[in-house]
Protein backbone atom coordinates (compact mmCIF):
# COMPACT_ATOMS: atom_id res chain seq x y z
CA UNK A 1 0.00 0.00 0.00
CA UNK A 2 1.44 3.38 -1.02
CA UNK A 3 1.96 6.31 1.31
CA UNK A 4 -0.88 8.23 -0.34
CA UNK A 5 -3.24 5.30 0.24
CA UNK A 6 -2.36 5.24 3.92
CA UNK A 7 -3.07 8.98 4.21
CA UNK A 8 -6.41 8.58 2.43
CA UNK A 9 -7.36 5.74 4.74
CA UNK A 10 -6.53 7.75 7.89
CA UNK A 11 -8.39 10.73 6.46
CA UNK A 12 -11.55 8.65 6.64
CA UNK A 13 -10.78 7.77 10.28
CA UNK A 14 -13.46 8.87 12.71
CA UNK A 15 -12.37 8.71 16.30
CA UNK A 16 -15.07 9.00 18.93
CA UNK A 17 -14.38 10.84 22.18
CA UNK A 18 -13.13 8.36 24.73
CA UNK A 19 -14.56 8.54 28.22
CA UNK A 20 -12.36 8.10 31.35
CA UNK A 21 -13.78 4.64 32.06
CA UNK A 22 -14.22 2.51 28.94
CA UNK A 23 -15.24 -1.05 28.59
CA UNK A 24 -13.47 -2.13 25.40
CA UNK A 25 -12.41 -0.86 21.96
CA UNK A 26 -13.77 -2.45 18.79
CA UNK A 27 -12.50 -2.02 15.22
CA UNK A 28 -14.35 -2.28 11.95
CA UNK A 29 -12.78 -3.11 8.56
CA UNK A 30 -14.88 -0.93 6.25
CA UNK A 31 -14.56 1.94 6.87
CA UNK A 32 -11.50 1.85 9.13
CA UNK A 33 -12.86 3.16 12.43
CA UNK A 34 -11.97 2.96 16.11
CA UNK A 35 -14.96 3.10 18.44
CA UNK A 36 -15.27 3.21 22.21
CA UNK A 37 -18.36 1.49 23.54
CA UNK A 38 -20.14 2.91 26.58
CA UNK A 39 -19.93 1.32 30.00
CA UNK A 40 -22.74 -1.11 30.58
CA UNK A 41 -23.12 -1.84 34.26
CA UNK A 42 -26.39 -3.64 33.86
CA UNK A 43 -26.99 -7.21 32.89
CA UNK A 44 -29.91 -9.08 31.44
CA UNK A 45 -32.63 -9.75 33.96
CA UNK A 46 -32.67 -13.25 35.28
CA UNK A 47 -35.74 -15.26 34.67
CA UNK A 48 -37.76 -15.42 37.85
CA UNK A 49 -38.41 -18.85 39.12
CA UNK A 50 -41.95 -19.57 40.06
CA UNK A 51 -42.11 -20.80 43.65
CA UNK A 52 -45.00 -22.68 45.10
CA UNK A 53 -46.99 -20.40 47.49
CA UNK A 54 -47.11 -23.25 50.00
CA UNK A 55 -43.29 -23.36 50.10
CA UNK A 56 -43.12 -19.57 50.62
CA UNK A 57 -45.70 -19.77 53.41
CA UNK A 58 -43.79 -22.61 55.04
CA UNK A 59 -40.56 -20.59 54.99
CA UNK A 60 -42.30 -17.58 56.55
CA UNK A 61 -43.84 -19.74 59.26
CA UNK A 62 -40.42 -21.27 60.00
CA UNK A 63 -38.88 -17.80 60.40
CA UNK A 64 -41.76 -16.68 62.61
CA UNK A 65 -41.43 -19.74 64.89
CA UNK A 66 -37.68 -19.13 65.17
CA UNK A 67 -38.22 -15.51 66.21
CA UNK A 68 -40.91 -16.47 68.73
CA UNK A 69 -38.61 -19.09 70.24
CA UNK A 70 -35.83 -16.51 70.64
CA UNK A 71 -38.27 -14.09 72.30
CA UNK A 72 -39.46 -16.74 74.77
CA UNK A 73 -35.85 -17.62 75.64
CA UNK A 74 -35.03 -13.97 76.31
CA UNK A 75 -38.15 -13.50 78.46
CA UNK A 76 -37.27 -16.60 80.44
CA UNK A 77 -33.74 -15.43 81.26
CA UNK A 78 -34.76 -11.79 81.79
CA UNK A 79 -36.45 -12.56 85.11
CA UNK A 80 -33.72 -14.92 86.29
CA UNK A 81 -31.16 -13.21 88.49
CA UNK A 82 -27.52 -14.13 88.32
CA UNK A 83 -26.31 -15.99 91.41
CA UNK A 84 -24.04 -14.16 93.82
CA UNK A 85 -21.97 -16.63 95.77
CA UNK A 86 -20.84 -14.02 98.30
CA UNK A 87 -24.35 -13.52 99.72
CA UNK A 88 -25.66 -17.05 99.49
CA UNK A 89 -26.36 -18.47 102.96
CA UNK A 90 -25.06 -21.82 104.09
CA UNK A 91 -27.24 -24.85 103.40
CA UNK A 92 -27.34 -25.65 107.10
CA UNK A 93 -28.93 -22.28 107.86
CA UNK A 94 -31.45 -22.77 105.08
CA UNK A 95 -32.44 -26.14 106.56
CA UNK A 96 -32.75 -24.68 110.07
CA UNK A 97 -34.71 -21.61 108.94
CA UNK A 98 -38.07 -22.92 110.04
CA UNK A 99 -36.74 -24.06 113.39
CA UNK A 100 -34.97 -20.75 114.04
CA UNK A 101 -37.84 -18.50 112.91
CA UNK A 102 -39.55 -16.88 115.86
CA UNK A 103 -43.28 -16.30 115.71
CA UNK A 104 -44.45 -12.71 115.86
CA UNK A 105 -45.89 -11.73 119.23
CA UNK A 106 -49.61 -11.16 119.27
CA UNK A 107 -50.40 -7.57 120.21
CA UNK A 108 -53.34 -6.57 122.33
CA UNK A 109 -55.96 -4.10 121.21
CA UNK A 110 -54.65 -1.46 123.63
CA UNK A 111 -51.10 -1.66 122.20
CA UNK A 112 -52.39 -1.45 118.63
CA UNK A 113 -54.51 1.59 119.51
CA UNK A 114 -51.56 3.31 121.23
CA UNK A 115 -49.34 2.74 118.20
CA UNK A 116 -51.97 4.16 115.86
CA UNK A 117 -52.37 7.28 118.03
CA UNK A 118 -48.58 7.70 118.27
CA UNK A 119 -48.23 7.45 114.48
CA UNK A 120 -50.94 10.08 113.96
CA UNK A 121 -49.30 12.41 116.47
CA UNK A 122 -45.91 11.98 114.77
CA UNK A 123 -47.50 12.71 111.38
CA UNK A 124 -49.05 15.95 112.68
CA UNK A 125 -45.70 16.99 114.19
CA UNK A 126 -43.80 16.41 110.92
CA UNK A 127 -46.45 18.27 108.93
CA UNK A 128 -46.21 21.27 111.26
CA UNK A 129 -42.41 21.19 110.99
CA UNK A 130 -42.61 21.08 107.19
CA UNK A 131 -44.98 24.04 107.02
CA UNK A 132 -42.76 26.05 109.39
CA UNK A 133 -39.69 25.41 107.21
CA UNK A 134 -41.56 26.48 104.07
CA UNK A 135 -42.74 29.67 105.78
CA UNK A 136 -39.20 30.52 106.89
CA UNK A 137 -37.84 29.97 103.38
CA UNK A 138 -40.58 32.12 101.81
CA UNK A 139 -39.89 34.91 104.31
CA UNK A 140 -36.16 34.85 103.56
CA UNK A 141 -36.73 34.87 99.78
CA UNK A 142 -39.22 37.76 99.98
CA UNK A 143 -36.86 39.80 102.20
CA UNK A 144 -33.98 39.18 99.79
CA UNK A 145 -36.07 40.19 96.76
CA UNK A 146 -37.30 43.32 98.53
CA UNK A 147 -33.72 44.32 99.41
CA UNK A 148 -32.59 43.77 95.80
CA UNK A 149 -35.46 45.88 94.47
CA UNK A 150 -34.54 48.72 96.82
CA UNK A 151 -30.88 48.44 95.81
CA UNK A 152 -31.77 48.50 92.11
CA UNK A 153 -33.83 51.66 92.57
CA UNK A 154 -30.76 53.31 94.11
CA UNK A 155 -28.02 52.04 91.77
CA UNK A 156 -28.12 49.63 88.83
CA UNK A 157 -24.37 49.04 89.08
CA UNK A 158 -24.59 47.94 92.72
CA UNK A 159 -27.56 45.70 91.87
CA UNK A 160 -25.65 43.92 89.09
CA UNK A 161 -22.69 43.44 91.43
CA UNK A 162 -24.96 42.05 94.16
CA UNK A 163 -26.53 39.37 91.98
CA UNK A 164 -23.18 38.02 90.76
CA UNK A 165 -22.00 34.65 92.02
CA UNK A 166 -19.34 34.65 94.72
CA UNK A 167 -16.71 32.31 93.29
CA UNK A 168 -14.56 32.56 96.40
CA UNK A 169 -16.59 29.75 97.94
CA UNK A 170 -15.59 27.37 95.11
CA UNK A 171 -13.73 25.10 95.25
CA UNK A 172 -14.34 24.30 98.90
CA UNK A 173 -11.64 22.14 100.44
CA UNK A 174 -12.06 20.70 103.91
CA UNK A 175 -9.33 18.83 105.76
CA UNK A 176 -10.23 17.10 108.96
CA UNK A 177 -8.68 14.64 111.37
CA UNK A 178 -7.74 11.21 110.05
CA UNK A 179 -7.47 7.90 111.83
CA UNK A 180 -3.67 7.68 111.39
CA UNK A 181 -1.23 10.49 110.58
CA UNK A 182 0.56 10.26 107.21
CA UNK A 183 4.17 9.06 107.06
CA UNK A 184 6.55 11.42 105.28
CA UNK A 185 8.32 9.96 102.28
CA UNK A 186 6.32 6.72 102.36
CA UNK A 187 5.78 5.12 98.95
CA UNK A 188 2.62 3.06 98.89
CA UNK A 189 3.23 -0.32 97.19
CA UNK A 190 0.93 -1.33 94.37
CA UNK A 191 0.41 -4.78 95.87
CA UNK A 192 -0.97 -7.89 94.23
CA UNK A 193 -4.50 -9.12 93.86
CA UNK A 194 -6.34 -12.07 92.38
CA UNK A 195 -9.49 -11.37 90.39
CA UNK A 196 -12.08 -13.97 91.40
CA UNK A 197 -15.04 -12.27 89.71
CA UNK A 198 -17.22 -14.86 88.00
CA UNK A 199 -18.22 -14.27 84.42
CA UNK A 200 -21.49 -15.45 82.90
CA UNK A 201 -22.45 -15.81 79.28
CA UNK A 202 -25.78 -14.88 77.72
CA UNK A 203 -27.51 -17.98 79.13
CA UNK A 204 -26.24 -17.54 82.72
CA UNK A 205 -23.61 -20.24 82.34
CA UNK A 206 -20.48 -19.84 84.43
CA UNK A 207 -17.32 -19.34 82.38
CA UNK A 208 -13.95 -20.15 83.89
CA UNK A 209 -11.33 -17.46 83.38
CA UNK A 210 -7.64 -17.54 84.24
CA UNK A 211 -6.61 -15.76 87.40
CA UNK A 212 -4.82 -12.43 86.92
CA UNK A 213 -2.49 -10.64 89.26
- The pLDDT confidence band at residue 47, using thresholds 50, 70 and 90, is confident
User: What distance in Å separates the CA atoms of residue 116 and residue 128, rounded to the nearest whole number?
Assistant: 19
What are the residue boundaries of the structural domains of the chain, listed by start? 3-36, 53-162
**193 CB-near residues (< 8 Å, 6+ apart):** 213
The mean-pLDDT minimum among 16-25, 80-89, 101-110 falls in 16-25
Angle at 12 between CA 9 and CA 15, to 5 degrees: 115
> In sequence order, which ranges of the chain are alpha helices (DSSP H)?
3-11, 53-78, 91-95, 97-100, 109-154, 156-162
Q: For 126, list phi and psi in degrees, rounded to 5.
A: -65, -35
- The pLDDT confidence band at residue 4, using thresholds 50, 70 and 90, is low
pLDDT digits (tens, 9 = 90+) for 151-199: 999 999 999 999 998 877 777 777 777 777 778 888 877 777 777 877 7
pTM listed for this prediction? 0.33
Is pLDDT of 36 > 90? no
Contact by Cβ (8 Å): 196, 211: yes
Amino acid sequence: MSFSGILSAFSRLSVHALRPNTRNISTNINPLCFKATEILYGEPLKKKRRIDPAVVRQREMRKQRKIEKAIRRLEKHARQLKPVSEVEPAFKLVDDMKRRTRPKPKLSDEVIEDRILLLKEWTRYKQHEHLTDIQMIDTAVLSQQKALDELRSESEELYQAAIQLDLSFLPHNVQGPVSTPPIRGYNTPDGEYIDITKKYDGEDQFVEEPESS
